[in-house]
Structure 1
Amino acid sequence: MKLTVTNLTVARGGAPVLLGVSFVVNAGSALVLRGPNGIGKTTLLRTLAGLQPALSGTVNFPEDAGAYASHADGIKSQLTVTENLAFWADVHGTKLPDTVFGAFELDDLRTRLAGTLSAGQKRRLGLARLGVISRKVLFLDEPTVSLDGFSVKMFANWLRDAHFARGGIAVIASHVDLGIEAAELELIPFKAAADAGGGSDEVFL
């Protein structure tokens, strides 16, 4: 399994932001996207995940293998930690592995309402969804927001020992050193000129 991106042009508000992006990520590997704020990392990730159309180019990986996770936690505050994870397991037709609680330091929080958690605990719960959905290709947008150094290392360990060890792939936009072996792609060379023509009417997306 691999993720292959060929000559991809992506747009924000109908205007091209990145032109001709190409790369390959093999099974068990990660690619970290680098570049200043506003260059188009989120737009690229959303396009890779199929959440918005590309202006041109191709993205290839096994069907139904991808998942996008933004810096939003995506949890239901009125449900407990366990109920939140069980909900996502049910949505994706998977079982809730008991190991996910330990992997994301949630063992002592199983019965806590998500709305009562700290920002860092909510972030760990949000990331723990990745451990229950069984998707091999992850598109992660600033996944370590609100995490302290210990929790960043915890997430890196999960990526390395659980996701990559099983042949998973991750494309990650992050300004933080996650402490994992990963290729890096600097997006500045792909930045579209300010007067680049559009080709979409998605101005209000």
Structure 2
Amino acid sequence: MEETPHRPHADLRSALRLRVENLAVARGGRPVLQSVGFTVSGGEALVVTGRNGAGKSTLLRAIAGLLPHAEGRIALEGAGEEAEPPQYAHYLAHADGMKAALTVEENLDFWSGYLAREPDGRSRSVPDALAVVGLGHALLAPFGALSAGQKRRAALARLLVAFRPIWLLDEPLTALDKASRGKFAAAMRDHCALGGIVVAATHEPLGLEEAAELALGGAR
């Protein structure tokens, strides 16, 4: 199957900005993040690094709207006055978010319908998304029958079937072999070429040579 070329959307590339200012987050009354700030514009990627306990996952969860912040501001600029980052974001953490008894196709069809804000030509069909992550042969396989690496690739395909400009990725390379890591690096670069934003917490190189880095402090 010949894939339809995806074109950059100049409006998103030039206008969208994810801005975090003076962010402080506490969990259980214990400060985890303090005075964190950065700006990432459409077409750019930010790699968040730091030792275990530095707050990498906490930062992503706060941006995704899953944790409250005690101080500071998280804003998506350029998408309208009422725009909130969680409405425009994919959040991928350690859980795959798939039903074991359903096929890969059924799982991704569900996420495509659930996550899509509106029809968008940048969203990929389920077969195309699986081809991108090298899992085209598993379309009709039960998700529960896949290997750990295949499950991770299927979860990554979820990012592609419903276009959302912000990707919040927590250790996205977990369980991926070298070839799969290369495919996903290409998918992240393509997302940025479409005007998207990638914010990824990782201990490992992602293959995004032009990404900025935010180094968080050590465990507290």
Q: TM-score range by the shorter chain?
A: 0.7 to 0.9
Contact map agreement 1:85 1:96 (CA 8 A) in 2? no
Match of 1:25 among 40, 44, 47: 40
Alpha-carbon separation, structure 2, partners of 1:186 and 1:118: 33
Alpha-carbon separation, structure 2, partners of 1:157 and 1:168: 13
Following TM superposition, where does structure 1 have runs of at least 4 consecutive aligned residues deviating by more than 3 angstroms? 93-96
Cα distance per residue 1:98-147 (max 9 Å; x no partner): 42121011211111111100000000001110001211011111111111
Task: Give secondary structure in 1 for the equivalent of 2:107.
Answer: helix
Structure 2 residue aligned with 1:197:
none
Structure 2 residue aligned with 1:90:
113
Q: Does 1:178 align with 2:206?
A: yes
Q: Does 1:151 align with 2:171?
A: no
Contiguous gaps of at least 5 residues in structure 2: 1-15
Give the 5 Å matches for 1:92-131.
Answer: 92-93=115-116, 97=125, 98-131=127-160
Match of 1:44 among 41, 59, 65: 59
TM score, norm. by length of structure 1: 0.88
Alpha-carbon separation, structure 1, partners of 2:185 and 2:94: 16
Match of 2:194 among 162, 166, 186: 166
Cα distance per residue 1:64-107 (max 9 Å; x no partner): 21221102211111011111100101112457614212101121
Alpha-carbon separation, structure 1, partners of 2:90 and 2:124: 17
Match of 1:69 among 86, 92, 111: 92
Task: Give secondary structure in 1 for the equivalent of 2:52.
Answer: coil
Q: Residue 170 of structure 1: CA displacement?
A: 1.0
Q: Does 1:54 align with 2:79?
A: no
Cα distance per residue 1:161-195 (max 9 Å; x no partner): 2x11110001100011011121011111xx69x6x
Alpha-carbon separation, structure 1, partners of 2:38 and 2:124: 33
Q: Residue 28 of structure 1: CA displacement?
A: 0.8
Structure 2 residue aligned with 1:198:
none
Contact map agreement 1:33 1:171 (CA 8 A) in 2? yes
Q: 1:29 to 1:96 in 2, by over 3 A?
A: closer
Identity of aligned residues (%): 48
Q: Number of paired residues?
A: 190
Of 105-114 and 63-72, deviating more is 63-72
Task: Give secondary structure in 1 for the equivalent of 2:152.
Answer: helix
Alpha-carbon separation, structure 2, partners of 1:67 and 1:126: 11
Q: Does 1:140 align with 2:172?
A: no
Contiguous gaps of at least 5 residues in structure 1: 195-205
